Amino acid sequence: MSVMKRMSMIFKSKANKALDKMEDPRETLDYSYQRQLEMLQKVRRGVADVATSRKRLELQINQLEQQQNKLTDQGKKALQVGREDLAREALTRRGGLDGQLGDLRAQYQQLQGEEEKLTLASQRLQAKVDSFRTRKETIKATYTAAEAQTKINEAFSGISEEMGDVGLAIQRAEEKTENMKARAGAIDELLASGALEDYSGPRDDIQAELDRVGATGPGVDLELEQMKAELGMGSAPKELDAAPGQQQSQAQQAQQAPRPQQPGEGQ
């Protein structure tokens, strides 16, 4: 049998089973309306849940993007101070984040799509529920058993189909949202524990190395140059010669110094 017909039959049989449970058609209408209101509430909660997960993902994407930018900056700085090895390390780590970010962005798109679909479904169901309320009151007011039964069956079947459709959409969105929440939660934990930071490195070993290079590398060279300049560039070798001489004479003086004290001490 065809897919289209078979799906329609499954929906109809579900609606019929629900209808068969009711004795008084007017009760059926009221009960059904209550169910629709509950369903509408569920749809709204579904939309809110999906929106929350989407926002959480958005925050995490922003955080990862910041870390990615930081690694790019670190790579540039490393190259500027001639540390290609560090630059390579920074870019390698950024590559690891690229994959994660790509995955998160795809999930974000998916959640955004679910949110849009659920919002539409919610609006559609709202319109149906409003229209059902009006129709049920009309049927109840002009109630004659035979006529009402037909009208109720038709209205009930249509709205039950809609509820089945929307219900399935929420169920699917909920499954996807749970999945996203779990992933988002895992990344939250990683960010909170600092594991991801260590990995991506806002204040990691690359930064530490860059700081060290920045502070002691060119800094020391500059200081050395300044010292050399103060002492006179050409005389640098002489200084080296002179220094031992001075040290020797100082040592001699130091050795000599105690001598006059020795007789004093001896006395």
Partner 1 sequence: MIVRLMGEGQLEVAEGDLAALNKLDGELEAAIESGDEEKFRTALHALLEQVRAVGKTLPAEDLAPSGLILPPADATMDEVRAMLGDAGLIPD
CB of 11 to partner 1, least distance (A): 6
> Residue 14 contacts by C-beta under 8 Å, 6 or more apart in sequence?
160, 164
Q: Does 140 bind partner 1 (CB under 8 A)?
A: no
CB of 125 to partner 1, least distance (A): 8
Nearer to partner 1, 104 or 163 (CB): 163
Q: What element of type H or E holds 132?
A: helix 84-141
Q: Does 11 bind partner 1 (CB under 8 A)?
A: yes
Query: What span, in angstroms and rounded, lies between the C-alpha atoms of 24 and 262?
Result: 127
Build a one-symbol-per-residue string for 148-167: x at contacts with partner 1 by CB under 8 A, - elsewhere.
------xx-xxx-xx--x--
> Residue 216 contacts by C-beta under 8 Å, 6 or more apart in sequence?
none
DSSP 172-204: HHHHHHHHHHHHHHHHHHHHHHTHHHHHH-SSS
How many CA atoms lie less than 13 Å away from 45 in the CB half-sphere? 9
**Stretch of residues binding partner 1 (CB under 8 A), selected from 22-30, 68-76, 168-176, 244-252:** 168-176
Query: What span, in angstroms and rounded, lies between the C-alpha atoms of 139 and 118?
Result: 30
Q: Does 169 bind partner 1 (CB under 8 A)?
A: yes
Among residues 164, 143, 157, 160, the alpha carbon closest in space to that of 24 is found at 143
Q: Does 202 bind partner 1 (CB under 8 A)?
A: no
Build a one-symbol-per-residue string for 115-134: x at contacts with partner 1 by CB under 8 A, - elsewhere.
--x---x-xx--xx-xxx--
CB of 15 to partner 1, least distance (A): 8
- Where on the chain is the footprint of partner 1 (CB under 8 A)? 1-8, 10-12, 15, 117, 121, 123-124, 127-128, 130-132, 135, 154-155, 157-159, 161-162, 165, 168-169, 172
